[in-house]
Amino acid sequence: MKYSIFSLARAALSGHKGWTRAWRDPAPKSRYDVVIIGGGGHGLATAYFLAHEYGIRNVAVLEKGWIGSGNAGRNTTIIRSNYGLPGNTGFYELSMKLWERMEQDLNYNTMVSQRGIINLYHSDAQRDAFARRGNTMRINGIDAELLNAVQIRKELPFLNYDNARFPIMGGLLQRRAGTARHDAVIWGYARAASEGGVDIIQNCEVTGFVRDANGKVTGVETTRGRIGAGKVGMAVAGSSSRVAAMAGLRLPIESHVLQAFVSEAIKPLIPGVITFGAGHFYVSQSDKGGLVFGGDLDGYNSYAQRGNMPVMEDVCEGGMAIMPMIGRVRMLRQWGGIMDMSMDGSPIIDKSPIDGLYLNAGWCYGGFKATPASGLVFAHLLARDEAHPEAALFRLDRFRRGAMIDEKGQGAQPNLH
Amino acid sequence: MRIACPFCGERENGEFTYLGDASPERPNFAVDGRESPDRVEDAFYDYVYLRDNVAGVMREYWYHGGGCRSWLVAERNTVTHEFISVTAAPGAGAASAVRAGE
Ligand SMILES: Cc1cc2nc3c(=O)[nH]c(=O)nc-3n(C[C@H](O)[C@H](O)[C@H](O)COP(=O)(O)OP(=O)(O)OC[C@H]3O[C@@H](n4cnc5c(N)ncnc54)[C@H](O)[C@@H]3O)c2cc1C
Ligand SMILES: [Zn+2]
């Protein structure tokens, strides 16, 4: 069904009883041209672009739980393209442009809301770093504005400007950044991919790879039987090491837990996204009124999908430092998600050393904003067997070659990226 | 999550800092130029960048900065966060002291 103002009116007049399911629920076939492991945003976007951009329609997405049950459904929904390093700058801007036309492309309301992001700075050195990043963005045709404290006060009058230790000196603003409704992104891609012929198969965990005599991957073993494949693409977010290990592959990746929090709903307060530069705290307000916020990783390897108390305390302290009035607001919920933390903080989109197996991994903390571009470039790689120009630096061998994309300058220490 | 420091007893994990996997060992080649550069490069690539990243029990380094300031080696289950053992890291000051019977 094509959604429009008329379909909505028709459904309203008939008591909303006529809505049909948004995507098919087929049984797995015995073979596909391309099998994607992982029904998160990246896997589904890849399938969507394979079908609609590259004409490859005999595709399956295999998801061990339900689609969107991983990080796609656990993140804080921030989208932005304020990156400073070659490789990242162009890629995330490609993603931003795809976000801007996503609702038209998918015929689905993904609630992309370009409310702006302000990264606050609190020292001269940080201002210089932000000025440099802003300049890099503008040279590349991306919007960025460096604001001083007086200008920030106009946008965000409620912040604590009198903090003696971390005074707010200004901020880097990207007005085109914002948030999107994460579940809707999943459902929108699932619906559009399914319409393009893609089989979305839930409750289907990949438990092993099928290899031929030369070691080439020719299919996967799953909890719903063996499925043959011309090519297999992995887009399993925090599970990359575990899935790659089934093919005997070790990756430059660690799995870490990141927590997120939601408060009770309050009246509209926070216009866009605000980040605290002296510690680590970021916040936005959902359409329902809850404050959505988070901060650092818990810091140690984890597959537990739940976090611990010290980070909760640290995040709340960060919030109190810039917005003391939220001390009166109750926290409603907290959860954790497991992410791939790569050795340089940047993703890996590449052929693996094993024939027939392709990697989309290492998304660290910021992979939600990458969802549309990740799908496009991974589909390109799977369809053409060559890197998309905007993903040409996300190679697996960059660590060996010393060509890291280390946005934070932390070195090979995943929990610091 | 609470960590039982062998010197300070059980403390909350906010007192500790994590370094990472304790298994990788720094490659040790003689500096006589006889080792093939490829082998050296492979070994260092492996040591610096590649990780087993196990879902299960892992040996890892923790630093008790909010307590005795010792380096520790913990065996911990990354799926349940359960600690199996916590001992002084070999070579750390306190560990050598324990070995010396002090
Ligand atoms: C708390 C938190 C906040 C975040 N906030 C932001 C943010 O504000 N902005 C941003 O850009 N990014 C953010 N991120 C990061 C972002 O969510 C991830 O990088 C991104 O969602 C990962 O891609 P994905 O959506 O495809 O992953 P997922 O949704 O995790 O998809 C992977 C899927 O693979 C499946 N899978 C795993 N193993 C198998 C198997 N063997 N067989 C079959 N299926 C399997 C999983 O069940 C899962 O559904 C955040 C992450 C967390 C945890
Ligand atoms: Zn101690």
Q: Which two tokens stand for residue A316?
A: 């709340």
For residue A225, list its beta bridge partners. Answer: A222
CB contact under 8 A, B49 and A412: yes
Q: Which two tokens stand for residue A243?
A: 């899935």
Find chain A residues with C-beta within 8 A of B12's C-beta.
Answer: 309-310
Q: What share of chain B is helix, strand, coil (3-state, %, to 5)?
A: 25, 35, 45
> What predicted TM-score, i.e. pTM, was given to this entire model?
0.96
Question: What is the per-residue pLDDT for A166?
Answer: 92
Count of beta carbons in the 10 Å neighbourhood of residue A371: 29
Question: What is the per-residue pLDDT for A93?
Answer: 98
CB contact under 8 A, B20 and A253: no
Question: What is the per-residue pLDDT for B91?
Answer: 73
For residue A228, list its beta bridge partners. Answer: A31, A219
Question: What is the per-residue pLDDT for A164?
Answer: 85
Question: What is the per-residue pLDDT for B95?
Answer: 58
Q: Are A177 and A80 in contact (CB under 8 A)?
A: yes
Residue linked to tokens 């797995």: A28
**CA–CA gap between residue A348 and residue A396 (Å, rounded):** 6
Question: What is the per-residue pLDDT for B100?
Answer: 62
User: What pLDDT, in 10s, does the model give residues A120-175?
Assistant: 999 999 999 999 999 999 999 999 999 999 999 999 999 999 888 899 999 999 99
Nearest Cβ partner for B50 among A252, A310, A313: A252
Find chain B residues with C-beta within 8 A of A301's C-beta.
Answer: 20-21, 53, 58, 60, 78
Task: Provide the shortest C-alpha distance from residue A359 to chain B (in Å).
Answer: 15
Q: Tell which residue, B47, B49, B75, B50, has the closest CA to residue B61.
A: B75
Question: What is the per-residue pLDDT for A14?
Answer: 93
Average pLDDT for residues B16-40, to the nearest whole number? 91
For residue B60, list its beta bridge partners. Answer: B21, B74
Task: Provide the shortest C-alpha distance from residue B61 to chain A (in Å).
Answer: 10
The mean pLDDT of chain A is 96
The pLDDT-based confidence of B96 (bands split at 50, 70, 90) is low
Vertex A409: Cα angle to A407 and A411 (nearest 5)? 115
ipTM (interface pTM): 0.91
A227 alpha-carbon distance from chain centroid: 28
Question: What is the per-residue pLDDT for B31?
Answer: 82
**CA–CA gap between residue A185 and residue A45 (Å, rounded):** 9
Q: How many residues appear in chain A?
A: 417
**CA–CA gap between residue A407 and residue B47 (Å, rounded):** 22
Nearest Cβ partner for B12 among A241, A303, A310: A310
DSSP state letter for A324: G
User: What pLDDT, in 10s, does the model give residues A217-254?
Assistant: 999 999 999 999 999 999 999 999 999 999 999 999 99
**Atom of ligand 1 lying closest to residue A243 CA:** 41
pLDDT > 70 fraction of chain B, expressed in percent and rounded: 89
Q: Are A217 and A243 in contact (CB under 8 A)?
A: no
Could you tell me which chain A residue has the CA closest to the CA of B49?
A252
Q: Tell which residue, A61, A24, A29, A359, has the closest CA to residue A226.
A: A29
Find chain B residues with C-beta within 8 A of A295's C-beta.
Answer: none
User: What pLDDT, in 10s, does the model give residues A173-211?
Assistant: 999 999 999 999 999 999 999 999 999 999 999 999 999
CB contact under 8 A, A302 and B41: no
CB contact under 8 A, B53 and A253: yes
The pLDDT-based confidence of A322 (bands split at 50, 70, 90) is very high
- Minimum mean pLDDT range among A243-247, A270-274, A368-372, B32-36: B32-36
Give the environment of ion ligand 2: residues with CB less than 5 A.
Answer: B 5, 7-8, 64, 67-68
Q: Which two tokens stand for residue A69?
A: 């049950």
pLDDT at B92 over 70: no
CB contact under 8 A, B49 and A399: yes
User: What pLDDT, in 10s, does the model give residues A22-53?
Assistant: 999 999 999 999 999 999 999 999 999 999 99
User: What pLDDT, in 10s, does the model give residues A85-131?
Assistant: 999 999 999 999 999 999 999 999 999 999 999 999 999 999 999 99
Question: What is the per-residue pLDDT for B33?
Answer: 80
A322: exposed, middle or buried (Cβ count in 10 Å: 0-12, 13-18, 19+): buried
A51 Ramachandran zone, left/alpha/beta (phi>0; psi -120 to 50): alpha
The pLDDT-based confidence of A406 (bands split at 50, 70, 90) is very high
- What type of residue is B11? R
pLDDT at B102 over 60: no
pLDDT at B94 over 90: no
pLDDT > 70 fraction of chain A, expressed in percent and rounded: 100
